[in-house]
A and B are shown apart, each in its own frame.
Chain A
């Protein structure tokens, strides 16, 4: 992988990223079930399906591979990019570029930290690596989520994580199209618009759950 050319590395990173983008939509669909006033029945059913279905189990491995590939190449490419300009400019760059595109590494790191926290809070508890809080069974994601979102601090960190992800996605999706060579003046405007709409929907959709649980319910 280290021997891959710069374009191959970026293409693999883009493909893994686009795969993760589709996963976000599935995860959001399940999260929004927390908004239903059914005592968590629909949410728990969906969570159980995701945890037990054999096809999903296979996809879980693919998903982890996607995460690792995207993170690995992201780190590698960023490291090489820093090395490509050993001496920095004295005067900050004033070029007319999109604001979000300059902070892909930074937002990526914030999302990675959030992902690790999320793993500790949910996935590691499910797999038994971390002990669940007293009174909550390790497969009971519904009460675990309610307990976490009852803390304004946790909710704030959660929302900050998804705002960072939204900023990351805003540039990432249209950037992936460019990397894969799918840039044409006829449709690139639509891709950029769709990228923005998708990123806002992801950030707002995920943030809706803690906002609803904390302020409305």
Chain B
């Protein structure tokens, strides 16, 4: 298969970037998207050019390191997969493929297609944890957890923090990511204790980092490679309002922030 690639090239965070066209030919339909980019980079290196920088790690869809905004969609045209799980058979022979980095004020471009996603780490540092050591794995049923709640917590915990939700959102909002993190902890007994404090701290941090506001377009849910539901955003909103309305606790949280 042959493709024309239009790739965002940018030397560093300060440099002005732009789209650059490349041609790749003889690509196997079974090669992954990254293997295709590896072939392009080999061509560029051999011809004395500068290879395209992009994030990747596990290449099996579990680490959340890869990104890429491909033809107007984070992680490309296939639903429920990360870019590393995308194969060239999902494109037409001769197609022009646009490849851009995630775009958000909170995710500045470092180089080419690599963005700095440490804003997500900062949000987690603000409250996405359980403060005490909750011990090792408990024996089954020593802490009773309702099946539906453990299922919902697990669904939320499937978030790999790749940032596709922010990339897809027309407002560059991080509500699906934070909703998932807030939910998976708040639904379980160990995380429930600090739920009110956690949601307020994480939302305050999100606002400071310059993420946008959610306008419920649900592009995040449509593009999430792990199928995280927007029900988690509603759960976060509910938890946030409950925490705000409990004035004594809210004051306690403000004082501790």
CA distance A180 to B238 in the complex (A): 7
Residues 153-199 of A contacting B (Cβ, < 8 Å): 171, 174-175, 178-185
Smallest distance from the beta carbon of B153 to chain A beta carbons, Å?
16
A52 on interface, CB distance cutoff 8 Å: no
A129 on interface, CB distance cutoff 8 Å:
no
Chain B residues in 8 Å Cβ range of A88: 103
Size bin of chain B's contact surface:
35 or more
A-B contact pairs, 30 of them (CB 8 A): A6-B206, A9-B213, A80-B213, A81-B171, A81-B215, A83-B210, A84-B172, A84-B173, A84-B210, A85-B104, A89-B103, A90-B19, A90-B98, A93-B170, A94-B73, A95-B72, A95-B168, A96-B219, A98-B217, A101-B215, A101-B218, A102-B217, A178-B216, A178-B230, A180-B241, A181-B234, A181-B237, A181-B241, A182-B238, A183-B231
Cβ proximity bits A70-102 to B, threshold 8 Å, 1 near / 0 not: 000000010011011111111111111110011
Whether a CB of chain B sits under 8 angstroms from the CB of A10 is yes
Query: In this assembly, does B233 line the interface, its C-beta being within 8 Å of a C-beta of chain A?
Result: yes
Q: Is the CB of B233 within 8 A of A85?
A: no
Contact status B203-A7, CB under 8 Å = yes
Whether, in the assembled complex, B106 has its beta carbon less than 8 Å from a beta carbon of chain A, the answer is: yes
Shortest C-beta distance, B246 to chain A (Å), equals 14
On whether the beta carbons of A179 and B218 are closer than 8 Å, the reply is no
Q: How far is the CA of A43 from the CA of B211 in the complex (A)?
A: 49
Known: A6-B203, A9-B213, A81-B215. A91 touches B71 (CB 8 A): yes
Nearest 8 pairs between A and B by C-beta? Answer: A181-B238, A84-B212, A183-B234, A94-B72, A81-B171, A84-B172, A181-B237, A95-B219
Are B105's CB and A91's CB within 8 A? no
Let me know if B100 is at the binding interface, CB within 8 A. yes
Bound: A171/B217 CA distance, A: 9
A88, B72: Cα distance in complex, Å? 11
- Residues of A at the B interface (CB closer than 8 Å) are 5-11, 77, 80-81, 83-98, 101-102, 104, 171, 174-175, 178-185
- A180–B222 Cα distance when bound, in Å, is 21
Contacts of A104 in B (CB 8 A): 215
Q: Are A93 and B213 within 8 A (Cβ)?
A: no
Cβ-neighbour of A184 out of B106, B210, B231 (below 8 A): B231
Which residues of chain A come closer than 8 Å to B240, judged between CB atoms?
A: 5, 7
Query: Chain A's nearest CB lies how many Å from the CB of B171?
Result: 4
Chain B nearest CB, measured from A3 CB (Å):
10
Contacts of A6 in B (CB 8 A): 203, 206-207, 213-214
A-chain residues with CB within 8 Å of residue B235 when the two chains form the complex = 181
Partner of B216, one of A5, A8, A87, A175: A175
Partner of B244 from the list A8, A83, A94, A182 (CB cut-off 8 Å) is A8
**Is B223 positioned at the interface, with any CB of A under 8 Å from its CB?**
yes
**Which chain A residues lie closer than 8 Å to B98 at the CB level?**
90-91
Smallest CB separation, B229 vs chain A (Å): 9
Q: Does B154 contact A (CB under 8 A)?
A: no
Please tell me if the beta carbons of A97 and B211 are within 8 angstroms of each other in the complex: no
The residues of A that contact B233 with a CB separation of less than 8 Å are 178, 183
Nearest neighbor of A95 in chain B, beta-carbon distance:
B219
How far apart sit A53 and B74, CA to CA, in the bound complex (Å)? 56
Q: Is the CB of B234 within 8 A of A77?
A: no
Q: Are B72 and A91 in contact (CB under 8 A)?
A: yes
Distance (Å) between the CB of A10 and the closest chain B CB?
6
Bound complex: CA A150 to CA B238 (Å): 49
Please give, as numbers and ranges, the residues of chain B lying within 8 Å of A83 by CB-CB distance.
Answer: 105, 210, 212
Contact of A96 among B172, B210, B222 (CB under 8 A): B222
Binary per-residue interface labels of chain B (73-113) against chain A in the complex, 1 for a CB within 8 Å, 0 otherwise: 11001000000000000000000001010011110000000
| Measured CA separation A96–B122 after assembly (Å) | 29
Distance of A73 from chain B, by nearest CB (Å):
9
Q: How far is the CA of A193 from the CA of B114 in the complex (A)?
A: 42
Distance between Cα atoms of A8 and B90 in the complex (Å) = 42
Interface residues of B in 11-51 (CB under 8 A from A): 19
Among the listed A8, A84, A171, A179, which residue makes an inter-chain contact with B171, where contact means beta carbons less than 8 Å apart?
A: A84
B231 pairs with A185, CB closer than 8 A: yes
Note all chain B residues with C-beta closer than 8 A to A5: 203-204, 207, 240
B69: contacting residue among A77, A86, A89, A96, CB under 8 A: A89
